[in-house]
Amino acid sequence: MEIVKKMLSTLVVAMMVCGLNLKGAEEVDISKLPAASDKKVDFIKDIKPLLEKSCFNCHGVKPRAKGKYFMNNREKAIAGGSSDEKAIIAGKSAKSPLVHMITDLVEEMEMPPIDKREKYKALTKTQIGLVRAWIDQGAKWPAGVELQKAAE
């Protein structure tokens, strides 16, 4: 038993030295995040159209949403996808993986994907600031409101 403990301790130290952590989540440099908007954000006017235009095609109600991450309603958008990590942490935009991905701070997880940006434009710093403010203000999403595919 002692040898198993020693081996596990060595493994944990090796992972830490190599820059890995036990959850597999990548550390992000939050100093690179655009500032949150200082305006009071209205989900229906400010956030819903943005998510419908930029996210819904891949993360809507399709049977195979990318990364098993659905954004059609608040519960699913917050829950996250296949990683079992919450995507939106209400009140904490700087800690929300969704913000890290739309800001391109997570390599290989940029949203929208870099190779799809001709069709799906990256969010602007102003738009990211609105998303951050919305999350910081509690990620309010009216009950019963679901995202729909944006009009082309």
Residue 3 lies in a domain: no
Q: Is the pTM of this model over 0.85?
A: no
Token pair recorded at residue 110: 């940029």
Domain with 66 in it: what CATH number?
Answer: 1.10.760
Mind listing the pLDDT tens digit for each residue in 49-92? 999 999 988 898 776 677 889 999 999 999 998 888 999 999 99
Token pair recorded at residue 73: 């309603």
Tally of domains in the chain: 1
Which residue range is the domain that position 72 belongs to? 33-152
Mind listing the pLDDT tens digit for each residue in 138-151? 999 999 999 998 87
Q: Using CA atoms, how far apart are residues 58 and 129, in angstroms rounded to an integer?
A: 22
Residue 15 lies in a domain: no
C-beta neighbour count of 144 within 10 angstroms: 7
Residue 122 lies in a domain: yes
Residue 26 lies in a domain: no
What is the rounded end-to-end Cα distance, in angstroms, of the chain? 62
